[in-house]
Amino acid sequence: MRTREAAAAPWAAADPYARALRAGRGPLFLRRADGWLLPLEVERWCARADGVDLGVLDRCEGAVLDVGCGPGRLVAELAARGRAALGVDVSEAAVEHTAGLGGQALRRSVFEPLPGEGRWGTVLLMDGNVGIGGDPYALLSRAARLLAPGGLLIAETLPVDVDERAEVQVVDVTGVPEPTGGTLFPWARLGTPALLRYADRQGWGAADQWAAGGRCFVALRSRSASSRAEPPKSTAVISSQRLRKPSAGRPVASR
């Protein structure tokens, strides 16, 4: 049976994705099995955080975990502000790019063990990353375990009311999968109403929702009562895992 970690892994092996990040530009798409193409905003992801991004980061509390950090613009901006922040991504190219910008990042799936579990002040699911794993309910449950009691989840949603799960593949401008890569993997697309429905079933509190620059966001508050976690400690969450950056370039965490 395929695990969620295995389901996420094709991003790491998707050569068109790695090439696009290293070049800083697309075109790049998610391709559904029926041929439908979703454009990916590689240029925006590889640029500096824009005004909409900065507005999201202003809302972050405590130490920040950016799930699916991509090339790391948000982690780098938080680091520049002196905030404790860590990005996680299954793509080696994404982690390398984040490190090059001065951010901390790990090559890891969100469903694998992560530093500071139960102590993060904010978890980010930006740029469509609410779709990771193709199971929003499972992803929300995982985010709750990563956050400190009463912690904040900020998720970017689609500006339409949609709740879709599909098998997708990373492809380049041709829209044709490469013979040596591009394995199908599960993905989800959610609008705000759908995300709120999933969150309500798990006891999340709806803290806020807003739109800016044609993008939509939801802030959710995790349950405040927990016997398993400590209050968030902005500096201790990362340093307790002894994150280091070897000369080869990719940050790693040693326990």
Residue extents of the structural domains in the chain:
49-164+185-243
Give the range with max mean pLDDT: 8-12, 23-27, 205-209: 205-209
User: What value does the mean pLDDT take over residues 233-250?
Assistant: 38
State the DSSP code for 136. Answer: H
The answer to whether 61 touches 122, Cβ cutoff 8 Å, is: yes
Is the pLDDT at 233 greater than 70? The verdict is no
**Which CATH number is correct for 49-164+185-243, 3.40.190.290, 3.40.50.720, 3.20.20.10, 3.40.50.150?**
3.40.50.150
Lowest mean pLDDT: which of 19-23, 106-110, 211-215?
19-23
Q: How many helices (H) and strands (E) does the chain have?
A: 10, 13
pTM: 0.83
- Provide the residue type at 230 as one letter: E
The answer to whether 194 touches 162, Cβ cutoff 8 Å, is: yes
pLDDT tens figures, 149-191:
999 999 999 999 999 999 999 998 665 555 444 578 999 999 9
* Residue whose token pair is 């955080």: 49
Is the pLDDT at 58 greater than 90? The verdict is yes
Is the pLDDT at 69 greater than 70? The verdict is yes
What's the chain's average pLDDT?
84
pLDDT tens figures, 80-91:
999 999 999 999
